[in-house]
A and B are shown apart, each in its own frame.
Chain A
C-alpha cells in the first residue's frame, strides 16, 4: 500500500466522519457562511423583552396568588386586581415596566379562559373552610396552607404550572416550529422568533448550568429556567437547552438551516422531556412514605404534576408521547386527588409514572 492510497483512504474516512454528523445534503442554493457559536447569548441583535415581560407577569401573578397561602388565617385577595393582571390594565404589576409593556399573558396563553379560571378559583376557595374530599378550602402545609378545590387541586399551582405549559412551552413549540419553515435567508425574522423562544426559558445570557443561583440573585432563572436545575439536572436539561439555543441562533446567521433545524429538534425534545421529568417527580413524590398522610405535601405535588401534564397538550408533532398515553395521563391527573391518594398501591399514579418513564427514558 502506498502513501497516496493511505492519504486517500484517510481523507475519505474523515469526510465520512464529518458527514456522519449531518443530515443528508439539502438542495438550498444558499451556501453556509462561516459562523462561530458563542458561549453566552450576547448576539448583537438579540431582543426578547416581550418574552421576559410575559415570564415576569406570570411570576407576579403567582406571587399574588401565593399570598393566600401565608399563615393559617385567611389572606383576602382582590378579584379586580387579578383580572387586571391578566389583562394588564390599571397598572397591576409592581414592576412598572411590565405595566407599560403593552403585553398581557392572556393573549399569549392557549386555553386562556381555563388557565384564568384556575387563578380565579384560588379566590373562590380562599374561604377558611377546612378542605376535605368534596369540600374546597384550606389544607395545612407546614406553618402555612394551600388553597384547594373539592377534588384536592391546588389552584395556584394549576395556574402557575399550567401557564408554564399553556403559555411559555406552547409559545416555544409554536415559534420554533415556524422557524423551521422559514427560508434560509430570512434571518431577521428567524432570529427574532428564536430570541422570543429563548426568552421563555428565562435564564441570564451567561447562564451557567452548573451554578446554583441564590434566590436573591437578580440573574436567577425563573419558572422553566428554575426547573432546569430543580428537575432537569439528571437529564442535563440546562446545558442541552442553553447550548442548543446558542448554536441554533448562530447557525441562522450562517445560513446553516440544517444545524438550525437540528437544534430546534433538540430544544423541543429536551424541553418536553423536562416537563415529563417534572411531572414524573410530582406523580411520584406524593406516594413516598414520607408524604403519605400529609395532604398538604401530597395535594401540592399532584397539583404541580397536573400543571406539567398540561404541557403535553401543546407538544410538538414529533413528540414521543402517543395520543393514547396522553389521554391516559390526562385522565389520571383529572381524577379526584383524594381518590388517587387512597388507592391501594397508588395504581393510577404508578400507571402515570410508567408512561412518563417509558416514553421519555426517565
Chain B
C-alpha cells in the first residue's frame, strides 16, 4: 500500500463527510456560456448611462436659459424656443428614466422629474391625480403664496414640479398672458431644482460606477436585476400611463386625453416613440454586442431575443401609424391606438415574464402576492 493511496481515500472520505452534512452549493445556472457580464455592465455605464446624464445636464442648462428668456419676455418667439429646449430635455429624460436605480433612485429623480403616478393607480375621474396628471391647484397655490412643497414625498408635490409643472406653466393656452413675477420665480425654482438633482445624479455615478460594474449577480437589487426590472417597468409605463389609461383601458372606455404625457407641450406621441426606442437601445446595448440581448443569446435564448427585438420594432411601427397629436388620436384614431396598445401588451408579457425567467431575475416593482 502506497501512502498516496491512503491520502486519496482520506480525501474521499472527508469529501463524503462534508457532502453528507451540507447541501451542495447552489450552482449559478445563469452562468452558461462565456458571456462577459462585467463587459456588459461597463458598456452600459460608460457608453449609455453616464453619457446620457451628461447630455441631460446640458439639456437642463439649456432649458434653464430658455425659461429665463421666456420669463423675462413672454412672447410666441421665446415660447417657441422654450418648447424646443423643453422637448429636448424631456426626451433626454425619457432616455435617462430607464436608469432609475442607484443614484437616480436615491435621489428619487423619476418622481421629482416626471412622475408617472405609479402603476397601482388607474384612471377613474378626470380630477384624480393619476398617470401624467398636473396638480394645477397646488401649482397655482404655490405661485400665489410664493412657496413650494418640492421636497415633500407626496403626489401633490410630485405633480407640482418637474416636467408636469413646466409643461403646464409654459404651454397652457394662456401661458404668455399669465406670466408674472411670481410665476416666473416658480418656473425658475422648478428648473433650478431639476438642475441640482440631475447634477447630483450625474456626479454620484462617478463613484457608483465601480459598484455597478463590479456586481454581476442577478439577485434582487443587483445591476442586472435592475436593468431587467427597468425595462419591464418602462414597458408598463408605456402600456398604462402613456397609452392605455388615457385611451380608457382602465376606465371602461372613458378617454382621458388631458392625461397624456406632456399634454400642453403637445409632444406626447414623440415621448412615447422615444420611450420604446430607448427601451430597445437599452435592451440591445445599442447594438454594441454587449447588451442584455447578447446576454440572452449566450444563455441559449436566441429565439426569445429575436422575438423581443421584433416585438419592439412592431410597437415602434404601430406608434408611427398614429398621427400627432396623441390626445386627439385617442378618439379620432381609436383603432390605430388600440392596435398599438395590443402590441405593447404582447411586449410587456415578453419582458415581464419571459425575460426575467431566463435571466433568473425577479420582478420586484410589482407586488406579486395577489392581495
Chain A complexes with chain B: yes
A293 adjacent to B371 (CB under 8 Å): no
Chain B residues with CB below 8 A from A226, complex form: 369
Q: How far is the CB of A13 from chain B (nearest CB, A)?
A: 4
Q: How far is the CB of A94 from chain B (nearest CB, A)?
A: 18
B207 within 8 A of A: no
From the candidates A2, A160, A289, name the one contacting B1 in the complex (CB within 8 A): A2
B25 within 8 A of A: no
A342 within 8 A of B: yes
A20 adjacent to B17 (CB under 8 Å): yes
Q: Which of B8-24 contact A (CB under 8 A)?
A: 9-10, 13-14, 16-17, 20-21
Q: How does the 8 Å CB contact mask read for A225-255 relative to B, with 1 for contact and 0 for none?
A: 0100010011000000000000000000000
A16 adjacent to B155 (CB under 8 Å): no
Given the complex of chains A and B, what is the CA–CA distance between A296 and B49 in angstroms?
Answer: 32
Chain B residues with CB below 8 A from A2, complex form: 1
Q: How far is the CB of A35 from chain B (nearest CB, A)?
A: 18
B6 adjacent to A297 (CB under 8 Å): no
For A285, give the chain B residue with the smallest CB separation: B367
Chain A residues with CB below 8 A from B17, complex form: 13, 16-18, 20-21
From the candidates B9, B151, B250, B362, name the one contacting A143 in the complex (CB within 8 A): B250
Q: How far is the CB of B353 from chain A (nearest CB, A)?
A: 12
Q: How far is the CB of A180 from chain B (nearest CB, A)?
A: 22
Chain A residues with CB below 8 A from B64, complex form: none
The interface-forming segment of A3-11, A117-125, A323-331 is A3-11
Q: Which of B239-259 contact A (CB under 8 A)?
A: 250
A291 adjacent to B121 (CB under 8 Å): no
Given the complex of chains A and B, what is the CA–CA distance between A157 and B369 in angstroms?
Answer: 12
Size category of the A interface is: 35 or more
Given the complex of chains A and B, what is the CA–CA distance between A294 and B241 in angstroms?
Answer: 14
Chain B residues with CB below 8 A from A5, complex form: 1
Given contacts A3-B1, A300-B367, contact A293 B155 (CB under 8 A): yes
Given the complex of chains A and B, what is the CA–CA distance between A288 and B233 in angstroms?
Answer: 13
Q: How far is the CB of B350 from chain A (nearest CB, A)?
A: 18
Chain A residues with CB below 8 A from B124, complex form: 72, 143
B173 within 8 A of A: no
B118 adjacent to A297 (CB under 8 Å): yes
A14 within 8 A of B: yes
A301 within 8 A of B: yes
For B116, give the chain A residue with the smallest CB separation: A290
Chain A residues with CB below 8 A from B151, complex form: 344
From the candidates A16, A62, A297, A341, name the one contacting B120 in the complex (CB within 8 A): A297
B118 adjacent to A234 (CB under 8 Å): no
Chain A residues with CB below 8 A from B34, complex form: none
B370 within 8 A of A: yes
B111 within 8 A of A: yes
Chain B residues with CB below 8 A from A301, complex form: 367
Given the complex of chains A and B, what is the CA–CA distance between A230 and B365 in angstroms?
Answer: 14
B100 within 8 A of A: yes
Given contacts A1-B6, A3-B1, contact A17 B14 (CB under 8 A): yes
A13 adjacent to B368 (CB under 8 Å): no
B153 within 8 A of A: yes
Chain A residues with CB below 8 A from B365, complex form: 288, 290-291
Q: How does the 8 Å CB contact mask read for B348-368 relative to A, with 1 for contact and 0 for none?
A: 000000000000001011011
B172 within 8 A of A: no
A269 within 8 A of B: no
A296 adjacent to B20 (CB under 8 Å): no
B108 within 8 A of A: yes
For A240, give the chain B residue with the smallest CB separation: B23
Name which of A6, A21, A289 has the most chain B CB atoms within 10 A of its CB: A289
B57 within 8 A of A: no
A142 adjacent to B370 (CB under 8 Å): no
Given the complex of chains A and B, what is the CA–CA distance between A201 and B84 in angstroms?
Answer: 60
A6 adjacent to B1 (CB under 8 Å): yes
Given contacts A142-B122, A143-B250, A293-B158, contact A230 B108 (CB under 8 A): no
Chain A residues with CB below 8 A from B20, complex form: 17-18, 21
Given the complex of chains A and B, what is the CA–CA distance between A10 and B100 in angstroms?
Answer: 59
Q: Which of A14-66 contact B (CB under 8 A)?
A: 14, 16-18, 20-21, 62, 66
Q: How far is the CB of B235 from chain A (nearest CB, A)?
A: 13
B3 adjacent to A1 (CB under 8 Å): yes
B154 within 8 A of A: yes
A116 within 8 A of B: no
Chain B residues with CB below 8 A from A9, complex form: 6, 9-10
A141 within 8 A of B: yes
Chain A residues with CB below 8 A from B117, complex form: 293-294
From the candidates B9, B122, B128, B154, name the one contacting A293 in the complex (CB within 8 A): B154
From the candidates A21, A233, A288, name the one contacting B21 in the complex (CB within 8 A): A21
For A156, give the chain B residue with the smallest CB separation: B371
For B22, give the chain A residue with the smallest CB separation: A21
Given contacts A215-B370, A293-B115, A297-B118, contact A285 B13 (CB under 8 A): no
B110 within 8 A of A: yes
Given the complex of chains A and B, what is the CA–CA distance between A9 and B250 in angstroms?
Answer: 74
B13 adjacent to A14 (CB under 8 Å): yes
Given the complex of chains A and B, what is the CA–CA distance between A62 and B369 in angstroms?
Answer: 14
For A161, give the chain B residue with the smallest CB separation: B371
Given the complex of chains A and B, what is the CA–CA distance between A285 and B9 in angstroms?
Answer: 51
A292 within 8 A of B: yes
Q: How far is the CB of A110 from chain B (nearest CB, A)?
A: 23
Given contacts A13-B14, A143-B122, contact A66 B371 (CB under 8 A): yes
A230 adjacent to B111 (CB under 8 Å): no
B27 within 8 A of A: no
Name which of B16, B152, B369 has the most chain A CB atoms within 10 A of its CB: B369
From the candidates B6, B233, B250, B368, name the one contacting A290 in the complex (CB within 8 A): B233
Chain A residues with CB below 8 A from B10, complex form: 9, 13
Q: How does the 8 Å CB contact mask read for B131-167 relative to A, with 1 for contact and 0 for none?
A: 0000000000000000000011111001000000000
A321 within 8 A of B: no
Q: Which 9 A-B pairs have the closest CB atoms?
A: A17-B17, A294-B118, A13-B13, A290-B365, A297-B120, A289-B105, A21-B21, A1-B1, A293-B155
11 more A-B contacts (CB under 8 A) besides A17-B13, A230-B369, A292-B108?
A6-B6, A13-B10, A13-B13, A141-B120, A143-B124, A234-B219, A289-B108, A292-B111, A293-B117, A296-B121, A297-B120
Interface residues of B (CB under 8 A from A): 1, 3, 5-6, 9-10, 13-14, 16-17, 20-21, 100, 104-105, 108-111, 115, 117-122, 124, 128, 151-155, 158, 219-220, 233, 250, 362, 364-365, 367-371
Q: Could you name 13 residue pairs across A and B whose Cβ atoms are closer than 8 Å?
A: A1-B3, A16-B17, A17-B13, A17-B17, A17-B20, A288-B105, A293-B111, A293-B115, A293-B118, A293-B158, A294-B120, A294-B121, A294-B155
